[in-house]
Structure 1
Amino acid sequence: MPDSTIRMAEPVKAPLVTTPLGLFGSLRAARSNLLDILPDLAVRQPIVSGRTGARWHMLMDPPAIRRVLLERVDDYPKSVVTKNLLRPAIGESLFIAEGAHWRWQRRAAAPAFSRRNIANLAPMMTRAAEATATRVTASGPRALDMYAEMVRATFEVISDVTLSGKAQFDREAMHRAIDSYIDVAGRVSLFDLLGLPGWVPRPGRVMSGDAVRRMKQAADEAIIARRSDGAGNPPDLLDLLIAGEDPDTQRRMRTPEIRDNLLTFIVAGHETTALTLAWALYLCAFDPDVQEAAGEEARRVLGARAATADDIAALPAIRAIVDETLRLYPPAGLISRTAQTADTLCGREIRAGDTVMLPIYALHRNRLLWDAPDSFDPARFSDGSPVDRYAYLPFGDGPRICIGAGFAVQEAVIILATLLARFRFRAVPGRQPKPVMIITLRPEGGVWLTAEPRK
């Protein structure tokens, strides 16, 4: 790891708050960029508490986080705010459901995300990587927004692996509906900060009804058509969800449950990987030495072909870049829970109803846990140094760890390796991205790079 006493150039980061914002200041900040509510103390202390209408606590202490995510997971369900934001779009899917309803769905869906099934989906990722490289080549020397390119690539993958690229699935319509929902409904409201119950209408979420209806209609039509046509060979994720069965109860998902989980996988399955890839390319352009070493590794392994799942073990430098990108710019930069019972965390009193936030962005940059935390240093994931399990949580942890984590990492390594084997990426002066989080941590303004073909 780099010596923390040495002043190093650092990639872009969010400016953390040094003075209290108050209720309306917090509302303004949260609606434009959730990172703007993070106090500077969150990267210097294990816990920060306060009150903004309702009581809240931010945890950056690995043992306390373990308690919340693993040891007492039923006492810390997803927060009311999270459910209010996402339930209109994805219902009581795996991401939202709690208790027994969550457990049977997780057991039914788990086989779809087995190591074998994820590997079987890799050829679609390889095709998308090849298609992306072809588009980058065709662009010539002009600057490209690689965030937009990565969104296109990963949406191609997720629509292929969920729906086998069937013609009845309008990719562009679905993507527009998702973006519309996130932009209009995915923002914290004053009612959320005041802790009002979910049945009180939030104007933005009422206005987003058309986008939600379009998303659900597209998914319902795809499910009905698949039930009529039968499963493909090999089966895609929709086939596996339709066939999935809880081994404990023999319960299967009905169409609404399949739809809600399908939408969850479509939204999360392309957005998180696209963001990881876009930020990774930004970081590679930021540090040409890291990029050059990774590019040489990819070129040595791949030659002129696109990467496959079989190549991943031979691409440790690429994987380390992905891991370090997920540390610096975790797609889910903040997750939250609502305490159901009284507890004590880091010596702090937790009351039933308190919001307990895990600011992953701040956790990954906490000075008590990381050396040179704001520096880009993939070696911290490849030099054998131990990383505390609960100090690094790009996919959460415990029983509710992201079911698609293996899928996302495989896709990111395949696409990133293919691109770095063929191009050197350079930053465009004056077009630096800004980290902005609404639901996910996006590069506002895009990631503008030029791509020089490797000889």
Structure 2
Amino acid sequence: MPDTSAPHGDTAALPVRVPLVTAPLGLFGSLRAARRNVLEILPELAVRQPIVSGKMGIRWHMVMDPQAIRHILLEAVEDYPKSDVTKNLLRPAIGDSLFIAEGAHWRWQRRAVAPVFSHRNVSGLAPMMSDAADRASARLAQAGSRAVNMADEMVRATFEVISDVTFSGGKSFDRDAVHRAIDAYIAEAGKVSLLDILGMPDWIPRPGRLMSTRTLKQMKAIADDAITSRRDRPPSERASERPDDLLDLLLGAEDRETERRMNDAELADNLLTFIVAGHETTALTLGWALYLCAFDPAVQETARNEARTLLQGRTATAEDVPNLPLTRRIIDETLRLYPPAALVSRTARRADTLCGREIRAGDTVMLPIYALHRNQLLWDEPDRFAPARFADRKSIERYAYLPFGDGPRICIGASFALQEAVIILATLLSRFDFTAVPGKSPKPVMILTLRAEGGVWLNARPLD
């Protein structure tokens, strides 16, 4: 498909990207790179070939072939559980929640939680997304002529959403403290250890994760307190007209096959999972989307006209989402260029063959989503920002585009995140013109998620 979205006056310009590795880094070079930015260990071959393999303490394979990925995520999902590295990074914070659990323990949780994210329930939470879009607009209007770090602003907006949809009607809590605790955990415990690269067993302590004990206690105490308070609320409040929020829905979640419900520890782990994932990934998507809109004024102007024509000055709602196709395509293309979960890791449970390559039990099999989404065998001009490529979704090969994963373990909150992103982006584009701040380009850096290092600094000019 030809690119129709090049910025005016500079057809050669490309949005910021990560330089990929063209020569072996070695063990310690790889460790330094991974602790600085996981994407810096990706070989340049990963955007030109279907599979790349190597050995560094452990045997590893990076897979970019859609059919092989389909095999891993769908056909042989039980043979490719989440990698030990992933579990080591996240289990201290979110236990054996839906994101970490395997086998029967995962299946019953998935069955119990799936109705929580039904279309009806997700649509019912949309007013809180619209409220957050209004508050973000008010803050931008107050900024006047000052440049704004939209990465931080979108973190604030999406954290307001997740806290409102989780704790509505409950007692107040310190939002800033919760976010600081989450951010501190990622900074302290989210970096890959040399022990991880060498494939050492998870019972050997990782120093960074030992240092995060205090932060973990803060996070878990907040979740425990919220659950206890909601269980103990008086009958009069339980019978109120307030619609169910995420915590209510989780408390009522039940596996219909076994009639099993989550105990308080399981609830806390899953609540933390949704709090962390529910704001961080959407905030990153919105920050990068606004960067791309400022990068390409023509796309921004077309999307603004779409939003203003539909909204007529009001805030976007769930009912508007299907009628904002270009806004949605901008989100889709943002997720292609800057996927929040830019690298997914699995451990092969038994011998297999992928793309003609021998896979042994115990091998690490990585799905580098960042490289998959820029693979030259799968995408036309893959480094270009071109929302038009999503005008015909059927033209996109199913397992070439995986911002939310796929198969039975596809992200359960994908519809929640997409609805929130479209509501907030459309509202902001209808009210502001975003332009880049010279010399302030963001740098894509992945620790646990793909963040914009240095922030997304934009001028936000209010529209008449």
Both structures adopt the same fold (TM-score exceeding 0.5): yes
Residue 447 of structure 1 is matched in structure 2 by: 456
1:35-434 correspondence runs (5 A): 35-164=39-168, 166-229=170-233, 231=238, 233-383=242-392, 386-434=395-443
Q: Which moved more, 1:233-242 or 1:341-350?
A: 233-242
In 1, distance between residues paired with 2:227 and 2:286?
30
Q: Identity across aligned pairs (percent)?
A: 70
3-state DSSP class of the match of 2:256? coil
3-state DSSP class of the match of 1:229? coil
TM-score, normalised with respect to structure 1: 0.98
In 2, distance between residues paired with 1:121 and 1:189?
39
Question: Alpha-carbon deviations, 1:34-93, whole Å to 9, x = none?
Answer: 010000000000000001110000000000000000000000000000000000000000
3-state DSSP class of the match of 1:344? strand
Instruction: Give yes or no for contact 1:146–1:278 (8 Å, CA) kept in 2.
Output: yes
Question: Alpha-carbon deviations, 1:112-167, whole Å to 9, x = none?
Answer: 10000000000000000011001101111110000000000000000011111633
TM-score, normalised with respect to structure 2: 0.96
Residue 32 of structure 2 is matched in structure 1 by: 28
How far 1:251 moved relative to its partner?
0.3
Residue 2 of structure 1 is matched in structure 2 by: 2
In 2, distance between residues paired with 1:394 and 1:151?
19
Q: Which runs of 4+ in 1 moved over 4 A?
A: none
3-state DSSP class of the match of 1:416? helix
One-letter code aligned to 1:2: P
Unaligned runs of 5+ in 2: none
One-letter code aligned to 1:13: R
In 2, distance between residues paired with 1:277 and 1:120?
21
One-letter code aligned to 1:62: P
How far 1:346 moved relative to its partner?
0.2
One-letter code aligned to 1:166: G
Q: Count the aligned residue pairs.
A: 454
In 1, distance between residues paired with 2:170 and 2:327?
32
One-letter code aligned to 2:41: I
3-state DSSP class of the match of 2:398? coil
In 1, distance between residues paired with 2:209 and 2:433?
42
In 2, distance between residues paired with 1:3 and 1:203?
47
In 2, distance between residues paired with 1:101 and 1:75?
16
Instruction: Give yes or no for contact 1:273–1:408 (8 Å, CA) kept in 2.
Output: yes
Instruction: Give yes or no for contact 2:170–2:230 (8 Å, CA) kept in 1.
Output: no
Instruction: Give yes or no for contact 1:324–1:378 (8 Å, CA) kept in 2.
Output: yes
In 2, distance between residues paired with 1:119 and 1:142?
35
How far 1:235 moved relative to its partner?
0.8
RMSD over aligned Cα, in angstroms? 1.2
In 2, distance between residues paired with 1:229 and 1:169?
16
Instruction: Give yes or no for contact 2:22–2:44 (8 Å, CA) kept in 1.
Output: yes
In 2, distance between residues paired with 1:301 and 1:241?
35
How far 1:384 moved relative to its partner?
5.7
Question: Alpha-carbon deviations, 1:193-229, whole Å to 9, x = none?
Answer: 0000111000000000000000000100010000011
Instruction: Give yes or no for contact 1:168–1:222 (8 Å, CA) kept in 2.
Output: no
Unaligned runs of 5+ in 1: none
How far 1:383 moved relative to its partner?
4.4
Distance 1:3 1:146, change over 3 A: closer
One-letter code aligned to 1:272: T
In 2, distance between residues paired with 1:106 and 1:159?
22
In 1, distance between residues paired with 2:170 and 2:290?
31
Instruction: Give yes or no for contact 1:8–1:375 (8 Å, CA) kept in 2.
Output: no
Instruction: Give yes or no for contact 1:422–1:453 (8 Å, CA) kept in 2.
Output: yes
In 2, distance between residues paired with 1:235 and 1:110?
16
Distance 1:3 1:133, change over 3 A: closer
One-letter code aligned to 2:156: R
In 2, distance between residues paired with 1:113 and 1:385?
25
Instruction: Give yes or no for contact 2:20–2:42 (8 Å, CA) kept in 1.
Output: yes
How far 1:330 moved relative to its partner?
0.2
